[in-house]
Amino acid sequence: MESCIFCAIAEGSIPSHSIYENETTMAFLDINPLSTGHTLIIPKYHSSKLNQLPISFATSLMNTIYTLTGPIEEAVGATATTIAFNNGSAAGQEVPHVHCHIIPRFEQDGGKSVHSIVENPSPPSADLSNIVLSIKNLI
Ligand code: 5GP
Ligand code: ZN
């Protein structure tokens, strides 16, 4: 897609600090990193949400995440990483091309876990069985 910044990065028409590339995925440093080594991994296929990607690209994306997480941690001396997708605008996604954030984490970085990302959690539901059923019916 012409107007997509991450498609343009994948095509090489916009420069990036690329750290890895294969036939179906690419990884490059985030231009506005939350920590040293903050990396974005994208499929070479335009889709805004993970659940709209063809399964082959989703699988390949996971392979690249797996391949890069260890080297990223080691390169920047991190003992942990937060690995996350903002999957849709309500989740804070700003660039509408699927991307996974790998964010190196440090004991003193002041950050929290993914449990901190929702400020107004839904009240606890007594009806977990119905939620399970609703999801199962859609798989
Ligand atoms: P989102 O909120 O969509 O999950 O995050 C988008 C990320 O893309 C942000 O962390 C932002 O810094 C990064 N980003 C946006 N534009 C560019 C760009 O042109 N180059 C690179 N390397 N990163 C970008
Ligand atoms: Zn795109």
Cα of first residue to Cα of last residue in the chain, in angstroms, is 29
CB atoms within 10 A of CB 26: 23
Q: What is the pTM of this model?
A: 0.96
The residues annotated as belonging to the active site are 99
pLDDT one digit per residue (tens) for the chain, 139 residues: 559 999 999 999 999 999 999 999 999 999 999 999 999 999 999 999 999 999 999 999 999 999 999 999 999 999 999 999 999 999 999 999 999 999 999 999 999 999 999 999 988 877 899 999 999 999 9
Which of the ligands is closest to the CA of residue 19? 1
Q: List, chain by chain if needed, residues with CB within 6 Å of any ligand 1 atom.
A: 5, 16, 28-32, 40, 86, 92-95
Q: Which atom of ligand 1 is nearest to the CA of 32?
A: 12
Residue 29 to residue 11: CA distance in whole angstroms: 16
